[in-house]
Amino acid sequence: MNQQQAIIVPQISSFPSHEAAALKLVRWLTRQNIIEAELSTCGRTGRHMGYGIAAGARKVVERPELLPFGQAVHGLEVIYRRCIYTPTRDFHEEAGCPECRQEVGEALFESLDEWFPGHTDNFICPLCGHEDDINGFLFLQSCAFSNLGFIFNNWADAVFKPNFLQQIASVLGFSVRVVRVDL
């Protein structure tokens, strides 16, 4: 079976009080019985710690039979540092300005040298001058930029239901984007 990740990312570069917000979402997911309450070694990164998959996960995906029950890597990992979330295969680095609707991908991705260390959250369209949080620009492939991310290991094939993503956005107070990563 191919390893993959579904990464849910709030659409804001610098999420205010991001650790408290993450804890709020983890508690909500636990109450919904989507993840286990205690950390275990079911993650992929670092010390492999994550929140294990729970039975309620079946109700938040389109294809529950593809959830990673019984797999060693199946947990939710929370990322608390500024990250660039993009697909790892065949990512085209294409982006558009929501104002002038022109392709600005090359300039936008070059600007990540300023975004990543936190010098700015915004990108300015070199064609029309429109300025917005980098997440406000249009991307042909799903990608996201934030200091908060939720990596669901091996859940991507099961596909989150839209209403579940809306509920997460409601809990966090910001819209979210799902980035699929195939490993």
Let me know how many helices (H) and strands (E) the chain has, helices first: 4, 12
Check whether residue 44 and residue 71 sit in a common domain. Answer: yes
Q: Which amino acid is at 40?
A: S
Look at residue 162 and tell me if it is in a domain. yes
pLDDT of residue 81: 96
Q: How many domains is the chain partitioned into structurally?
A: 2
Distance of CA 114 to the CA centre of its chain: 21
Check whether residue 127 and residue 40 sit in a common domain. Answer: no
**Host domain of residue 117:** 92-139
Check whether residue 109 and residue 131 sit in a common domain. Answer: yes
- Angle, alpha carbons 119-174-46 (nearest 5°): 65
CA distances from 84 to 29, 129, 134, 142, 147 (A): 24, 23, 11, 11, 9
What is the reported pTM? 0.96
Block mean pLDDT (10 aa), the chain, length 183 = 93 98 98 98 93 98 98 97 94 95 96 96 98 97 97 98 98 98 95
pLDDT of residue 88: 87
User: The tokens of 77 are what?
Assistant: 């990992």
Check whether residue 21 and residue 74 sit in a common domain. Answer: yes
Check whether residue 135 and residue 169 sit in a common domain. Answer: no
pLDDT of residue 1: 61
Look at residue 1 and tell me if it is in a domain. no
Check whether residue 123 and residue 171 sit in a common domain. Answer: no
Look at residue 58 and tell me if it is in a domain. yes
Look at residue 47 and tell me if it is in a domain. yes
Distance of CA 59 to the CA centre of its chain: 20
Check whether residue 68 and residue 96 sit in a common domain. Answer: no
Look at residue 9 and tell me if it is in a domain. no
Q: How far apart are CA 69 and CA 53, in angstroms?
A: 7
Look at residue 5 and tell me if it is in a domain. no
Q: How far apart are CA 57 and CA 14, in angstroms?
A: 28
pLDDT of residue 122: 97
Check whether residue 33 and residue 73 sit in a common domain. Answer: yes
Look at residue 4 and tell me if it is in a domain. no
pLDDT of residue 71: 96
